[in-house]
Structure 1
Amino acid sequence: MSITDNGPKPNAFDIETATRQNTTYRSVAWTGKYLQVTLMSIAPGSSIGLEVHPETDQFLRIDAGSGVCRMGPSETELTHTDVTDGWSIQVPAGTWHDVVNTGDEPLQLYAIYAPTHHAKGTVHETAEDAEKDEEAGTDEPPEWTVQPS
């Protein structure tokens, strides 16, 4: 299944199939004015990476695989919850979070950011590619999205 980010135009696609077929660390599937949908595939033993978004809420849903979700008010105060196919994770803005693949197959999930968090149509094959874009400042939301002041 091929997904093209046509945001901010109306869009519909089979998100479960697209998520399960995705092989990239992160692919932006749709960018709206107020939120964004990304597909993620996390290799066994790897993770999303411990992070915090001060002004971005996040919703994640696991569609395949198993892992552990870590969340809390600081990098050192994290609760751990085992997650698997069908689980959802809600991350309020300002919450430290990570999802670690503890299984032996890719952890397939999608994430919804509000407000939009990444550049429209971005595809990061690996976590390292995502990190390089963040450091270079090339993974910024489009100017037509609504961002916190």
Structure 2
Amino acid sequence: MDIHDNGPKPNVFDIETATVENSNYRAVAWTGKHLQVTLMSIEPGKTIGLEVHKGTDQFLRIDQGKGVAKIGPAEDDLQEYEVEDGWSIQVPEGMWHDVENTGDEPLRLYAIYAPTHHAKGIVQATAEKAEEDEEAGRDEPPKWVAEVDTKGEEKA
């Protein structure tokens, strides 16, 4: 399935099929002013990578595979949850989190960020490419998205 980020225009697609067919580490499927949809694929034994988002809540849904979600207020204070196909994970702003693939097939999931967190339409085949893009400033939300400060309040 070919997904093209046409945000912020209306968009309709079969998210479950797109998620299961996605083999990229991260592919932004749609970017709105206040929300963004990304598709992710994590190889067996790999993780999303421990991270925290300031000013952004995150919803993740597993559509294939199984893993462990780790969420907590600090890098060294994480609670673990076993997750698999059909499970969702909600990560409040400011919480450290990671998802590890503990299965023997790719862990396929989609993530919804509110507000938008990544560059419109960016596709990153690997976690290394995603990190490289972030460090180089190529993975920033578009200027037209709602700007939110680190307290989660929309800027004027």
- TM above 0.5: yes
Residue 24 of structure 1, CA deviation? 0.1
The answer for unaligned runs of 5 or more in structure 2 is 150-156
TM-score normalised by L of structure 2? 0.95
Describe how 1:99-138 pairs up with structure 2 within 5 A: 99-138=99-138
- Residue type of the partner of 1:69? A
Structure 1 partner of 2:3: 3
Structure 2 partner of 1:66: 66
Structure 1 partner of 2:85: 85
Structure 2 partner of 1:96: 96
Structure 1 segments (4+ residues) deviating >3 Å = none
Two-structure CA RMSD over aligned residues (Å):
0.4
Cα distance between partner residues in 2 of 1:27 and 1:94: 23
TM-score normalised by L of structure 1? 0.99
Structure 2 partner of 1:147: 147
Residue 11 of structure 1, CA deviation? 0.4
SS for the counterpart of 2:72 is strand
The answer as to 2:31 corresponding to 1:31 is: yes
Percentage identity across aligned positions?
71
Cα distance between partner residues in 2 of 1:26 and 1:93: 20
The answer for unaligned runs of 5 or more in structure 1 is none
Cα distance between partner residues in 1 of 2:119 and 2:51: 18
Post-superposition Cα deviations, 1:47-80, rounded to whole Å, max 9, x if no partner, equal 0000000110000000000000000000000000
